[in-house]
Structure 1
Amino acid sequence: METTGANLTNSNQTSLYKCQFNESFKYILLPLCYGIVLFLGLVLNLTALYVLLFKTKRWKSNTIYMFNLAISDTLYIITLPFLIYYYADENDWPFGNAMCKIIRFLFYNNLYCSILFLSCISIHRFLGICYPMRSLQWVSVRRARVVSVAIWVTVVSFQSPIFYFSQTLSVQGEKICYDTTSKELFSYFLIYSSVISVLLFCLPFITVMLCYFLMAKKLQESSAGHFTSTSKKKSVRMIIIVLCVFVLCFLPFHITRMIYYFFRQFDYPCRMLEASSIAYKVTRPLASANSFLDPILYFLAGQSFRNQLTRKENKKSRSNMHSDITLTTKM
């Protein structure tokens, strides 16, 4: 992902920064990765939305959070064809400054909406396991709707500066679409990005880790015998899946991004800057991968979601069998 004017791959081009290094790998890696995310994410999220909207009769709190996750993922996924074209064309953005801002905004909007909604699902599961009686009062569909609206308002408000920071810049006849900002604004962007990372990633991540530690401890206690084997398995699946999404998708991206930003801001040697930039660009598709991992979470961790899909397939199979029997009888 192109982030600075310093990352131009052609060494004879004039750079805005002191370092020039080759990153031609991203012109293959990023279109390929984004193409996979586009295909899997579109199929899985549209399937999830179809089941949630047309096959789920009774919505629970987790259903509300999963629906919002699917909406957030889909909004981001529909921007991927623009990015695939951009990187396949080796960083020449033809879609205008406004679309550049929208694309960058929707990436970060999806990133932090996913983190917060997954955190809500984790807290919901934690309350059900550790405080089953009290959770009946704390957790409700109405409160889930209020929390969902609050998350959207919070993330959109916190990410609105992206419309100011992100911009296009013409470099030797090619137009770059920044996902950070210009050199002049970068010190301000670093402060903004650091605050966002702490508030919208570090705090939710710590909360999720604490919830799952307490849940795992509760499930191991002898007093947890009132949980059925199915309930335990479902809770363990939830722990594993959400932690995998955080550890594989969100954690590497935030670590490599902050290292790269600090190296760039504080004028580290070019070799270290290049290594950090490569690491950041490699982990960025991992952050996008949450867009198709979230629907897998619905399927593996949500029994009702699986039941809806199973009923749909069984109904289709019975319909085909009936047609075959009718055709055989007529013959």
Structure 2
Amino acid sequence: MEMNTTPTYHLNTTGVSDGNGFEYIDPYSGLRRSLKIMTLIIYCLAFVLGVLGNGAVIWVTGFKMKKTVNTVWFLNLAVADFLFTACLPMSVTYLALDFHWPFGKFMCKLNTTLTSLNIYASVYILMVISVARCVAVVWPVWARNHRSVRKASCVSLGVWVLALILSSPYFVFRDTAPAFRNEEVINCFNNYALSDVYDESVYELVIFRFKAMTITRIVLGFVVPFTVIVSCYAVIIHRLRRNHTLASQSGRTFKIIAAIIITFFLCWAPFHIFSVIELVHQITSFANLSLDYVITIGIPITTSLAFINSCLNPLLYVFVGQDFRDKVRKSFLNMLEAAFQEEESDSHTDTNTGNTSQSQMKSLESEL
């Protein structure tokens, strides 16, 4: 995912002449070549696993099961990840052709916009799921009375609209142009100048837009949702520890909570950290070879790691905590269907005070 106008790791030639007898020798050509091969392999794996895994989730939640709040959440999450992984072959082609984009300007814009849409939609859907689970634990009776497929669908629609708004700048700024070293090679890049002419007069505007886009993606695409997710599960853990009845049954819950937080953080934190490093490097007026080397290695690796999240989500939210010994004889689709089922207790409210603890337990188990 190329988020800047001149990605450092796109310089994959051994030398460039400026026409005056001076030739720049790229000291990282071998490293860039190895990283490109690694990235191609990861993208191909993410495509296969992501399309199959998310496609199966879409099939089960969208066509095989009765619509519930849980199926609405997971269906939207799977759609976001599926759209992204389905577009990965274009990125694979771009890399395989040595950063030549053969699909035209519109597809250049659309591909990056869909990538950004996945970032925001999937992260905010995960945040919504976390908030819903927190509410179900803290106010179980209220949650059962107010949970509905219609409300969940409206919330999901709001997430998609927000994600589309946050992604729309990429459709504006994304552009294609001949490469500096070879006019036969067409690059797909972020043209923050919105012009074919790039000089010092637009430098400050380009830097401002680049900073705004990067900071927005870091804050709204990671810091805010991650803070909400961690806060929600901190409340859940605190509530479980206070309720001894629930805590005795919470072993699987803690595993899922740990998996959600750790996976989310490991997949996205490195990407956003290197986005900050790259931003500092781009706006710094002096050359820093050590920082350039770090970015050369880090950007492709962290980008690939972030993309892997799209094929991990089906495993994370379907299989973590499931008893495989009891389900090993079941088919893949049956396992998915069992994972998304909600307890019958969610459809009604217990009026008997003596059943409150049991009702809360069933509600918690279905949410977590």
TM-score tier (shorter): 0.7 to 0.9
CA distance in 1, matches of 2:328, 2:118: 26
Q: Could you tell me which of 284, 288, 291 is aligned with 1:270?
A: 288
Which residue of 55, 70, 83 maps to 1:46?
55
Question: Aligned partners of 1:137, 1:188: CA distance in 2, in Å?
Answer: 46
Find the aligned partners of 1:314 and 1:188 in 2 and give their Cα distance.
46
* Equivalent residue runs for 1:5-24 within 5 Å: 6=8, 7-13=10-16, 22=28, 23-24=32-33
Using a 3 Å threshold, how does the CA distance of structure 1 residues 177 and 134 change in structure 2: closer, same or farther?
same
Instruction: Please list every run of at least 4 consecutive aligned residues from structure 1 whose deviation after the TM superposition is greater than 4 angstroms.
Output: 18-21, 179-184, 307-315
Matched, 1:177 2:188: yes
Change (3 A) 1:5 1:45: closer
Q: Secondary structure at the match of 1:93?
A: coil
- Partner of 2:178, secondary structure, is strand
Deviates more, 1:67-76 or 1:163-172: 163-172
**Corresponding position: 1:33 with 2:42:** yes
Could you list the per-position Cα deviations for residues 89-117 of structure 1 after superposition, in whole angstroms to 9, with x for gaps in the alignment?
21111111111111111111101111101
**Quick check: 78-87 or 181-190, which moved more?**
181-190
* CA RMSD of superposed structures (Å): 2.9
Identical columns (%):
27
**In the alignment, is residue 296 of structure 1 matched against residue 304 of structure 2?**
no
Distance 1:228 1:53 in 2: 34
Q: Deviations over 1:202-221 (max 9, x none)?
A: 11111111111121122222
How far is the alpha carbon of 1:180 from its aligned partner?
7.3
In structure 2, how many angstroms separate the alpha carbons of the residues matched to 1:148 and 1:309?
Answer: 33
When residues 314 and 69 of structure 1 are mapped into structure 2, their CA distance, relative to the original with a 3 A threshold, is: closer
Match of 1:245 among 255, 260, 263: 263
Question: C-alpha deviations, 1:40-90, integer Å up to 9, x for none?
Answer: 111111111111123212x33222111001111111111111111111121
CA distance in 2, matches of 1:122, 1:251: 18
Kindly tell me: are residues 146 and 14 of structure 1, through their superposed partners in 2, closer, same or farther at Cα, counting changes over 3 Å? farther
In 2: Cα distance, 1:118 partner to 1:177 partner: 30
Equivalent position of 2:140 in the other structure: 132
Q: For 1:137 and 1:314, how far apart are their aligned partners in 2? A: 30
Alignment gaps of 5+ in structure 1: 316-331
Confirm whether residue 225 of structure 1 aligns to residue 245 of structure 2: yes
1:300: how far off? 2.1
Map of 1:156-175 to 2, 5 A cutoff? 156-171=164-179, 172-173=182-183, 174-175=185-186
TM-score by length of 2: 0.75
Query: Does structure 1 conserve the Cα–Cα contact (< 8 Å) formed by 2:256 and 2:320?
Result: yes
Partner of 1:190: 211
Q: Structure 1 residues 21 and 91 mapped into 2: Cα distance closer, same or farther (>3 Å)? A: farther
Preserved contact between residue 120 and residue 166 of structure 2 (Cα < 8 Å): no
Aligned pairs for 1:22-101 within 5 A: 22=28, 23-57=32-66, 59-101=67-109
CA deviations on 1:258-299 (whole Å, 9 max, x unpaired) are 211221122353321331242122100111111111111332
Provide the residue aligned with 2:366 in structure 1: none
TM-score, normalised to structure 1's length? 0.83
Aligned pair count reads 308
Counterpart of 1:321 in structure 2 is none
Task: Work out whether residues 214 and 279 of structure 2, in 8 Å CA contact, stay in contact via their aligned partners in 1.
Answer: no
> Is 2:314 the counterpart of 1:279?
no
| 1:290–1:264 CA distance, 2 compared to 1 (3 A) | same
Matching residue of 1:327: none
Structure 2: state its 5+ residue gaps.
19-23, 335-368
> How far apart are the structure 1 equivalents of 2:283 and 2:333?
58
Moved more, 183-192 or 99-108: 183-192
CA contact (8 A) 2:267 2:306 kept: yes
* CA distance in structure 1 between the aligned counterparts of 2:25 and 2:275, rounded to whole angstroms: 18
Distance 1:19 1:104, change over 3 A: farther
Residue of 258, 261, 276 corresponding to 2:276: 258
Stretch of structure 1 that moved more, 184-193 or 109-118: 184-193
